[in-house]
Amino acid sequence: MDLLPKPDQVVAAAGNVAHKVLYGKLADLRPMPRTLIDEGTLREIYHYRPTAGARQSGDPVLMVTPLAAPSSCYDLRRGCSLVEHFVTGGRPTYLVEYGEVSFKDRNLGMEHWIEEVVPTTIRTVSEHAGGRPVHVIGWSLGGIFTLLAAAADADLPIASLTIVGSPFDVSLVPLVAPLRPLLNFFNGRGPISQGYQLIGGAPKPLVKWAFQLSSVQKLVTKPLALATHLDDADFLAQIEAVDHFTANMIAYPGRTFGQLYHRMLKANALVGGTFELDDRTISLADITVPTLVFAGSTDGIAPVAAVKAMVPLLTNAEEVRFEIVPGGHLGMLTGRAARGTTWQVMDEWIDAHLSDRDAGSVEPDGGASAEPAIGANPQRRYSSKGSRALSR
């Protein structure tokens, strides 16, 4: 190991520091351009605009954001954005996010996302893309909501599911397992229960702290990592982008947080493959579409074993594929290594499960097909308020 930096490393480090001082950042945090195509209560559906001169073809891809996380999880920064990867690859690309959660949303429960937000979004995207089936990608809690929505409604126009870092057996999560006996001891009368009921949910600072706690080792060693990578602009840009993502965490609605706390953390309700919602039972055995499952090799929030627990529950899926990829909870989705691992597997998966329908896309000059470009919205309503906010 070289203890002293080489001359070219010193020059690169000086350039990066100067760039940071002069411009305030190294990461290109501009969101990919998008258009709001539909909205409802805590539901904003966006279509990402194709790049200039690009030809779009194939089925649409929909990314489902987890609660409490900003949509930048899929669009972290230019050069390390799953959205950018799909758009520049010519795929019709869509995303659902939820906007700011406030006290007035405290009575919304998980059924709002499972029975209204996710199903409505899938149907809206399919219609906007000319009636094509949708390849749905859900990360973390977004993956759990996606699976439960697909299991609850077999008529949804889904081409395939991709679930990224979604834990189904929380007893195998090191951060949670030691606390479960204590949670059950309080039997719903503990400080957490009383706290979220009083304030109507989990506030932003708590959500941010919980996410940082999951990677406390990286947080502690971060200053040293920065000091030893001053010559690596891509590394520094990634750190900036993750900090920006963490700073924009969103609150949980009170009733939903209560359900997650009592039913997921305390009762481990998903481990058996069924989930009670209102007056019915949702079973993962009712999922029939092809399903791809990712686990991150160093994920502290959703360890490999906790994610893999869902695989044997998908007994009637046409195909199930389980992949372990490098990275922690966010890194496996949009870390620097994901560009050559997770994203490549996603591309292979989507291409292998395209619908048989003709693409019907338009040549770049606009005159080669009778059909409009996939995802085109000639009656565009207005642009993304969220995108403008994230760019500040």
pLDDT along the chain (392 residues), means of 10: 52 46 68 96 94 83 92 95 96 93 81 96 97 97 97 97 96 66 48 46 48 46 50 77 86 79 85 91 97 96 95 97 96 95 98 74 38 45 43 39
- Mark residue 320 as left, alpha or beta (left: phi above 0; alpha: psi -120 to 50; beta: remaining): beta
Q: How many CB atoms lie within 10 A of CB 366?
A: 9
Is 177 among the domain residues?
yes
Q: Which residues pair with 96 in a beta bridge?
A: 45, 64
* pLDDT on residue 100: 80
CATH code for position 180: 3.40.50.1820
Is 319 among the domain residues?
yes
- Tokens for 36? 């709001």
Is 345 among the domain residues?
yes
Is 365 among the domain residues?
no
Is 326 among the domain residues?
yes
Is 149 among the domain residues?
yes
Query: Residue 175 and residue 301: Cα distance in Å, rounded?
Result: 7
State whether residue 109 is helix, strand or coil. Answer: coil
Is 382 among the domain residues?
no
Instruction: State the DSSP string of 185-235.
Output: HHTT-SHHHHHHHHHTEE-HHHHHHHHHHTTHHHHHHHHHHHHHTTT-HHH
- Tokens for 49? 């605009």
Query: Residue 151 and residue 168: Cα distance in Å, rounded?
Result: 15
Give the residue from 29, 34, 35 showing the smallest Cα distance to 79. Answer: 29
Is 92 among the domain residues?
yes
Q: How distant, in Å, are the alpha carbons of 66, 167, 268 from that of 261?
A: 16, 14, 10
CB contact at 8 A, 65 and 95? yes
Q: What are phi and psi of 5, to 5 degrees?
A: -70, 150
* pLDDT on residue 357: 63
Give the residue from 180, 161, 154 showing the smallest Cα distance to 262. Answer: 180
Number of folded domains in the chain?
1
What is the residue range of 222's domain? 7-354
